[in-house]
Amino acid sequence: MRPILYLLPFYVAAIAAPAPANSGDENDDQNCEEWDGDMIENKDGPTADGSPGIGIEFESPMFYFSSPSCPEATVNNAKKKVLAGRKQKVDSGKSPLWMLTADTGAGERVLQAEYILDGQQIKLGSGQAETVTKEIVKDFTDWQPWKKRTGKDRVKIEVEDTPCDFYIDAPTPKDEASNVFWQPQITAPLPLEALFVLMKDRATYTLVPKSNEYFNIIGDSPRSPLGTQVIVNKNYFQKKPNGIDPASLTDDTLAFLSLVLTYAKTIAKNPLKKDESVKLRSVFMPRTDFHTLYTKVKSQLPGDLWNIINTISCYTPVNPKDKNPQTLDLDKLYLDSKLCKVEDQNGKNTFVPGTKLGNAKFGSTTIKDWIESLGKEDLLTTFDKTIDGSVGGLGSKMEKVLDTSREVPLFEFRDLNWQATPDMANFAKDADVKLKALHQKYKQAPTNGK
């Protein structure tokens, strides 16, 4: 049985913890400064010298704590703040390579623990990721603060620069650090054509086997909405929108189109709830904005980008679970397939774009507006800044392919396989090695039409 299935009861308990009672002061939230996503320093990139880094976050809903009377705005502002002073001990003037921080999303007035490896300092392929994660495992195993509980008195845990008192709800005194599970997220630079390899592996398995070469980077069992990954192949261009010859398209361009359609279609099929981040719509989240991604492939996509996207959006694989799905059908997103086919003046059926996708919204912005504006700005990134600051949060920043001067975007790999505390270092080592291999394999940009 996969660890995530074993862990499910603990995860549900964490996020469904009873909402603590309000302090009784209805003005508490108004008296506190509201959280601004731009204030959060993720420490996932870019590196100072532009060389490729690797950042990892290990988040655990099994280690969480609450403050029943704390204003919600204050709780939100505790995101990424250091817990109990736990961070790497370094000489004066140097920044720690790891720290234990608080994360939100575990319930009302509840925080959960998250170890962060500094991707601005830790270099991809250097072995640092494994070494630093070993320090984290030792720190957590030696600490185990929940075991200090006596009787009914809960253990207090300090949250940096946060006036509220937080108390540990889980684990319990009988639990060992080795039995605590963590869900990792990885941030690293990657050529778009290398990302395409991972996207295809993730999208074409009902259950990604552990034997898969990239298992630790693409995650476990695909599930909606994070498991809904669109893979654009050359057959999507059979009608040659804007006169584009499918043979001219390279994998980096197909990866860009796959990312755009993934976010567009998942938003259209599953509209965002109030204050819900767009990051929950894909396991492959660009930290570099979509405008910058577009500039990398724009030469292969002449003319109106919306016409291209809207045309190819009518397609979907007949059997998306095939390892290499090439045969296409009309997407059921379009409730009436006539939206994609009309009869021209000569009585022949002619393919035309659908309309439902473009009308879908995130906030007050439509998908059509977003795509039409990508030549100058990324409205999806602008929107997410007000929610979480994750999607495209690094703007135009990029890093180089290992041992080259080629600049490529940064991505966060989400929804990855859960790791027990003793397994975290091996996970970091494996992911670092596999990402390094992808950098070595895709050093050169793909040649047009090959």
What confidence category does residue 223 fall into, taking pLDDT thresholds of 50, 70 and 90? Answer: low
Nearest Cα residue to 63 out of 24, 26, 102: 102
pLDDT tens digit string along 275-333? Answer: 888 888 889 999 999 999 999 999 999 999 999 998 898 888 876 666 566 788 777 77
Rounded average pLDDT over 402-427: 96
Torsion of CA 385, 389, 391, 396, to 10 degrees: 80
Judged against a pLDDT cut of 80, whether residue 435 lies above it is answered with yes
**What single DSSP character describes residue 409?**
-
End-to-end CA distance of the chain: 42
Q: Any idea which residue has 């500039």 for tokens? A: 295
Q: Is residue 119 within 8 Å of 56, Cβ to Cβ?
A: yes
Q: What is the DSSP code string of 12-79?
A: HHHHTPPPPPP-S-TTHHHHSPPP-GGG--------TT---B-EEEEEEEEEEEE-TTS-HHHHHHTT
- Interstrand relation of 419-420 and 407-408 (parallel, antiparallel or unpaired): unpaired
Q: What is the pLDDT of residue 277?
A: 87
Rounded average pLDDT over 127-143: 98
Residue type for 338, please?
K
Task: Supply the pTM of this predicted model.
Answer: 0.86
- For the chain, give every domain's residue range: 1-179, 189-411
Q: Is residue 145 within 8 Å of 84, Cβ to Cβ?
A: yes
CA distance 417 to 427: 9
CA 401 vs. chain centroid, Å, equals 20
Phi/psi-derived region of residue 90, left when phi > 0, alpha when psi is between -120 and 50, beta in every other case: beta
